[in-house]
A and B are shown apart, each in its own frame.
Chain A
């Protein structure tokens, strides 16, 4: 892997890796460290891995997940919902009061997602936020396709029920 290829294939997905790390660690600083370490590791080991790795993105996601879980488990970090980076909303027909209520609801949905069991949380993140295929999710998380589908179904079902009951 050359410098140019690294910049074309791996470096552009750093935001994706960061969001994934943030989803697991719940900490901005930890997620930044994870991305830094993953990019370094990819750069150093890519030449010897280049024959084995078919999908660099999935491989990077796997590295990110493993590194994030290591950090989370070793430091027993308390997970918090990442609420930073609130983007502007495009709904132009709501009143300010409705907007505030809407923001509360959005924040609650984010919290619900963050409180899902680990596997459901990661599958839902990779599908609904990063828009990965079932195959890519299975490869990234080292689980079967059936497990991907089951966990995604359970995650969405949980969120929907909570939204209805809240």
Chain B
């Protein structure tokens, strides 16, 4: 750039009449060199601007101010999943076991003193009082401590109730696994995002 041209631009710069593009041309002139002898006196001005622009935030902790909040959300989501799973378990328990009891033919009326049953817990409690039929595969692994003299067997209703509970717990477990996998994915993403700005700064 010729001296006259840059001189004219500078005059307008001091008056505050230059465009951003013209100001960039002035800065480029003073950073690229060589600088005309007559303009050396104003060179420090544009070097100062250039140096100030190069100042950067270096604290790496600034890179992730919202990470704790992500984890808060993860915790909240996990809790919600647990609650939902618990609610589902209770609901399923009521829906399946109660009709089951009502439909069961009374084969041994001497054991069924209660005409109606309201909850899964009562079903299990009642089933434990009855003389069970050989139906459950897990009967031998769970001996009854409070009734050592009786045969440790579980009837079909109890087995079914237990199967329901097992299914519900399996669902809770699967939900927890899913939540954990999501959290791992999130953590991996956060780590990756942490590395991106570092590379740029380096």
Chain A residues engaging chain B, CB cutoff 8 angstroms: 3, 6-7, 11, 14-15, 17-19, 22, 31-32, 35-36, 39-40, 43-44, 82, 84-87, 89-93, 102, 105-110, 113, 125, 127-131, 133, 149, 152-153, 156-157, 159-160, 163-164
Report the minimum CB–CB distance from B37 to chain A (whole Å). Answer: 11
Interface bits B5-34 vs A (CB < 8 Å: 1, else 0)? 000000001111000100110000001111
Contact stretch, chosen from B49-57, B74-82, B119-127 = B49-57
The number of chain B residues with a CB under 8 A from chain A is: 38
Whether A160 contacts B14 in the complex (CB less than 8 A), given A93-B33, A106-B44, A131-B20, comes out as yes
Q: Are B20 and A163 in contact (CB under 8 A)?
A: no
User: How far apart are the CA atoms of A61 and B101 in the complex, in Å?
Assistant: 69
**How many A-B residue pairs lie within 8 Å, measured between CB atoms?**
108
Complex: how many Å from CA A86 to CA B59? Answer: 17
Specify which of A84, A90, A93 is in contact with B32 (CB 8 Å cutoff): A90
Q: Report 12 cross-chain contacts, Cβ distance below 8 Å, ordered by A residue.
A: A19-B53, A32-B59, A40-B65, A40-B66, A44-B69, A82-B52, A91-B47, A109-B48, A110-B52, A128-B23, A130-B53, A131-B23
Chain B residues closer than 8 Å to A31, beta-carbon distance: 57
**Chain B residues in 8 Å Cβ range of A11:** 63, 197
Question: Is the CB of B42 closer than 8 A to any CB of chain A?
Answer: yes
Taking A36-B65, A43-B66, A129-B52 as contacts, is the C-beta distance between A89 and B47 under 8 angstroms? yes
Bound CA span A15–B13, Å:
26
In the complex, A164→B44 CA distance in Å? 12
